[in-house]
Amino acid sequence: MDILKLISYSIIPSLLTIILVFGLVKKVDIYKLFIEGAKEGIHTAAHIMPYMIAIFVAIAFFNTSGALGILERLFTPICQLIGFPSELLSLLFIKPVSGSGGLAFIKTILDQYGADSYVGRTASVMMGSAETIFYTLAVYFGVTSVKNGRYVLVSGFIAYFAGVAASVIICKYI
């Protein structure tokens, strides 16, 4: 077995052992803290659930209503002008809203064009280099007391489009 596999297989058990030993040395009630953390996790999940449901309903409505198809037809000429593969428009529109929705679209793209095609490679790099903006905002603002996310949304879109542009450029020339 090579060293990387050994590290890979042993990292989580090692971290758990270190945490347990540290807790025992410091005489901390590890089980009680674990239960408190689990309770907080359940509270957090219950608190953000309405935001998550709203996002998933919006995606379903957007896709089922035909709005996604209309946007794709509207933006195809622009894509041809700037050199963006129009086959990736559905991924471009859905990825900021939902990572799982993006995964569904990338599966379709890879099935249709292949993983080694320009479109397949670009879709894969896009998926890994761009964040799910609205999902992230729903989770973070659902948990915290921050109410004004205007600047976060703008900076999120700037970063998103920078990641998309880098994906297209890198996959086109490498």
How does residue 104 score in pLDDT terms, banded at 50, 70 and 90?
A: confident
Structure confidence at residue 41 (pLDDT): 87
pLDDT of 165 > 80? The answer is: yes
pTM over 0.75: no
Structure confidence at residue 109 (pLDDT): 92
How does residue 50 score in pLDDT terms, banded at 50, 70 and 90?
A: confident
Structure confidence at residue 153 (pLDDT): 84
Structure confidence at residue 1 (pLDDT): 60
State the number of CA atoms in the 13 A half-sphere of 86 facing the CB.
14
Average pLDDT, the chain: 87
Q: In three state form, how does the secondary structure of 50-110 look?
A: HHHHHHHHHHHHHHHCCHHHHHHHHHHHHHHHHCCCHHHHHHHHHCCCCHHHHHHHHHHHH
Structure confidence at residue 87 (pLDDT): 92
Q: What is the mean pLDDT of residues 2-12?
A: 87
CA angle 77, 118, 132 (to 5 degrees): 75
Domain regions of the chain by residue span? 45-173
Q: What is the pLDDT of residues 12-49, one digit of tens each?
A: 999 999 999 998 999 988 889 889 999 998 988 888 78
